[in-house]
Amino acid sequence: MNVTWLGIVVLAILILCVWRGYSRGFIKEIVSFFFVFLSLSLAWAINPYINEFLMQKTPIYNTIQETCANFVQSQGEEKAEYETDSTGNLIDGLKLPDLLRKNLEENNNAETYAALSVDTMTEYVSGYLARTVINGLSYVLAYILSTIMIRLIVYVLNLIAGLPVLKTANKLTGGAVGFLKGIVFIWIAFLVLTVLCSTEIGKTALELIEKDTLLSTLYQYDPLVRIFSKIL
C-alpha cells in the first residue's frame, strides 16, 4: 500500500471530520449533512445555466482549451496530428489518473469528434480536457452559490440542536455522519483538482493521488469526477 503526504493530509481531514461530528453530535451533524446534499442538489439544478454561460458568454473555454493543448504538448508528444485509432501514442503518455485516461480512450470516436468539432487526436484530447474542466468548474461555482444561498437558513441548526437525545448515541452517529460528509468534501476537492489538471498545482496533486492507494481508490469512485468527465 502506497501512501503520500497528500494521502496523510486527506486522512487527517477525515479524522478531523469524524472528531467534529462526534463533538457536535448526531442531530447537528445529520442536519449539516442534509444541507450539504441540498447544496449539491441545488447546484445540479443551476449548473446547466452556469455551464452554458461560461461556454457561450465568456472566453473561458477557449482559454482553457489553449492551456490544455499546451499541457498535452508538454507531456512529450509533439506530433502535429494523430490518427483516431492511435490512442496509445498520446493518451497513455498523459500524466492523468486512470479514470480520465480511460474516459479519453472510450470517447475517442467519431461522435465525440463531431461534438467537439475537432479533427485530430491532439485537438480531441485538449478539447475533451477543456470540456471536462468547464463541466467541473461550472458545477463548483454552482455549488458555491448554492451553499451561500443555503447558509441563509442555517440558523435552523440551533433549534434542532436543542432537542433531547442520548449523548453517546448522538456523538457516535454524529461521528459517522461526519465521516460521510468528509468523503463528500474530499470528492468535491478532487473535482476542483481535476478542473486544475492543466496547472502545476493540479498536475502535482493528481500525480500524488495516482501514487497514493487510498486517494486513487477514492478518486476512482468519485461520482462528481465521473459525471463531469462525461462530455456527451
DSSP labels, the chain: ----HHHHHHHHHHHHHHHHHHHH-HHHHHHHHHHHHHHHHHHHHHHHHHHHHHHHHSSHHHHHHHHHHHHHHHTT---S---TT-HHHHGGGS-S-HHHHHHHHHT-SHHHHHHHT--SHHHHHHHHHHHHHHHHHHHHHHHHHHHHHHHTTTTHHHHHHTS---HHHHHHHHHHHHHHHHHHHHHHHHHHHHHTTTSHHHHHHHHHHHH-HHHHHHHHT-HHHHHHT---
Instruction: Residue count of the chain, please give it.
Output: 232
| Lowest mean pLDDT segment, chosen from 39-43, 184-188, 225-229 | 225-229
Q: How far apart are CA 203 and CA 191, in angstroms?
A: 13
Whether residue 79 is predicted with pLDDT greater than 80 in this model: the reply is no
Rg of the chain in Å (alpha carbons): 20
Instruction: Say if CB 143 and CB 43 are below 8 A apart.
Output: yes
Q: Residue 167 — very low, low, confident or very high, per pLDDT cuts 50/70/90?
A: low
**What pLDDT is attached to residue 162?**
56
Residue 113: partners with Cβ closer than 8 Å, 6 or more residues away: 84, 119, 124
As a whole number, mean pLDDT of residues 114-132 equals 85
Mean pLDDT score of the chain, rounded to an integer? Answer: 81
Whether residue 25 is predicted with pLDDT greater than 50 in this model: the reply is yes
Place of cell 501514487: 211
How many CA atoms within 13 Å lie on the side-chain side of 59? Answer: 3
Q: What is the pTM of this model?
A: 0.59
